[in-house]
Amino acid sequence: MLLDHADQIRRDVSPKITPKKKSQLGQFMTPAPVARFMAAMFPPSDLSLCRVLDAGAGLGALTCAFLDRWRSGGFCFSRVESTTYEFDETLLVYLEATLDRYADQTNLTSRVVREDFIVQTALAILEDRAPRHFTHAILNPPYKKINNGSQHRRALSQVGVETVNLYTAFVALAIELMAPGGIVVAIVPRSFCNGTYYRPFRELMLSKTALRAMHLFDSRSKAFSDDDVLQENIIIMLERGGGQGSVTVTTSTDDTFSDLVDIQHPFERIVLPGDVERFIHVPTSTEETELEQLPTVRYTLDDIGVRISTGPVVDFRLKDHLRFVPEPGSAPILYPIHFAGKSVTWPVLESKKANAIMVNDDTRRWLMPNGFYCVVRRFSSKEEHRRISANVIGPDDFPPGTEFLGLENHVNVFNEKRRGLPEALAYGMAAYMNTSAVDEAFRRFSGHTQVNAGDLKTLRYPSREILEEFGRWYLNCLNASQDDIDQKFKAMTA
């Protein structure tokens, strides 16, 4: 198998690429078992001519896996035209040498395009000469933020692709290049499933293709075990112009695929009906989440009159106004360190973070009136048991007469028109956020340890009345165990 040869080159070459270049060009190569698995995902086909695209081909692992499947009888094409895009000269030498090894295959034509895939494809689309004839695409695109004003951003805007990362740009352009019925299999970070910034990409993908399958690795970083890749990765299979039906979700612990579990889900479980954000949920069992089973948990934040905002104080922009020790004329500022326990600890004088912010004309617009708020930290560590953990801030946490609060950008704040919530509601929101059911529902659409306001906006909530009742209970039981919270929640929402 030529994939094994390509994999040997990967093991030799990959460690020699400097970490800087690796991250600049997104050079994380696919190990052979993952490449083979991806090639095996394509459904059988009765096409006689296959045109396969590998954009950002690196050392060619994915094309090799695809061609190996064909050569060993896994596809019945009588001819294959392979197109690979790669722009790094160092890798191109290996890529061309590897593809040359298929030279004995007279019914195969290999074309290596030594250009920038994004710039070249956007230009071809703009000039109406993009081929749009690929029947298969197999991709492991580079992962890198697209900067404003960059050549890539300009090229993509010209063809109406609004996205924030190279990987989604690659997939979006590959979709454009597919023939009707063409299949794209791509291994990508999971971040596009829920980030608000990825919404235009989700809309493009879901309108132009049918999502056929997703594969999730149960444990973080197992797809790229030789590289230190911390992003959670997912393999998706899309069909250009296909009618959306059920979606197959497979999971495996790692890239040995020894414990593969395969479940079909109706599309309504993947993208919830009515969800304007079009979040992509990845259920890993047929069982409904606890929240899905509760008809009483069906309200949006708008329905219950609550807003979620990212903490408005961006500290480095207001550096001159921050104080480690509170002083007259200052307001408390709250960072995640102030929410380390179940209740608020403020000030934390031994910390490197400020405890106060001066109230003046430069800062006032970023402050919120003192009151009751439910706060959810935006970042948790991988080791933490829960992704979502909430606290309540109340006026009693601060000296009498405190008028304003600075909520720092690393926290999310539930509020009502930028003011505090009624006390019972603030506690009810915190109790609800701290249930196991919410943590479970969150993990369905997010592979991050990061929790953004947009994520909390897509969740469903119990009615305001139930939340307030939950809050009145929680207010008196702040030391309640996880079990106590879950049982109370069940009893109230059953």
Q: How far is the CB of 189 from ligand SAM (least distance, A)?
A: 10
Q: How far is the CB of 28 from ligand SAM (least distance, A)?
A: 5
Cα–Cα distance measured from residue 296 to residue 461, given in angstroms and rounded to the nearest whole number: 8
Cα–chain center distance at 435: 22
Q: Quick one: tokens of 319?
A: 């550096």
66/366 with CB nearer ligand SAM:
66
Q: Which residues contact 249 (CB under 8 A, 6 or more apart)?
A: 213, 214, 215, 216, 262, 263, 264, 265, 282, 283, 284
CB of 187 to ligand SAM, least distance (A): 7
68 vs 292, which CB is nearer to ligand SAM? 68
Question: Which C-beta is closer to ligand SAM: that of 227 or that of 439?
Answer: 227
Give the DSSP H/E element, type plus range, for residue 186.
Answer: strand 178-189
Closest approach of ligand SAM to the CB of residue 413, in Å: 37
Shortest distance (Å) from residue 360 CB to ligand SAM: 46
CA distance 228 to 327: 45
Of the two residues 83 and 389, which places its CB atom closer to ligand SAM in the complex? 83
Closest distance to ligand SAM from the beta carbon of 25 (Å): 4
Q: In the bound complex, what is the minimum distance in angstroms from residue 153's beta carbon to ligand SAM? A: 12
- Give the max Cα distance, the chain: 84
- Residue corresponding to tokens 């890239």: 255
Q: Which is it for the CA torsion 429, 434, 435, 436, positive or negative?
A: positive
Beta bridge partners of 237: 185, 213
DSSP H/E element including 483: helix 482-493
Coil, helix or strand at residue 275: coil
Q: Which residues lie near ligand SAM (CB under 6 A)?
A: 25-30, 56-59, 61-62, 85-88, 91, 116-118, 140, 142
Return the number of the residue (122 or 393) whose C-beta is nearest ligand SAM. Answer: 122
Cβ burial of 479 (10 Å; 0-12, 13-18, 19+) is exposed
DSSP-based three-state secondary structure for 352: coil
Helix axes 2-13, 89-100, angle to 10 degrees: 160
For ligand SAM, which is the closer residue by CB, 94 or 372?
94
Nearer to ligand SAM, 80 or 411 (CB): 80
How is residue 176 written in tokens?
A: 């454009």
Query: Least CB distance from residue 222 to ligand SAM, whole Å?
Result: 16
Separation CA 160–CA 375 (nearest Å)? 37
Both tokens of 122, joined, read: 């956007």
Q: 108 is written with which tokens?
A: 């195969």
User: Which of 64, 367 has the CB closer to ligand SAM?
Assistant: 64
- Minimum CB–partner distance for residue 128 and ligand SAM (Å): 21
CB of 159 to ligand SAM, least distance (A): 15
Question: How near is the Cβ of 109 to ligand SAM at its closest, in Å?
Answer: 20
Contacts of 152 (CB under 8 A, 6+ apart): 118, 119, 146, 166, 169
Are the C-beta atoms of 21 and 82 separated by less than 8 Å? Answer: no
What is the amino acid identity at position 395? P
**Residue 329 phi, psi dihedral angles, 5° rounding:** 85, 5
Q: What is the DSSP string of 43-74?
A: PP---SEEEEEEES-TTSHHHHHHHHHHHTTS
d(CA 290, CA 281): 15
**Spatial distance between the Cα atoms of 75 and 50, rounded to a whole number of angstroms:** 10
Provide the angle, in degrees to the nearest 10, between the axes of the packed helices 482-493 and 423-433. Answer: 110
Q: CB 31 → ligand SAM: shortest distance, Å? A: 8
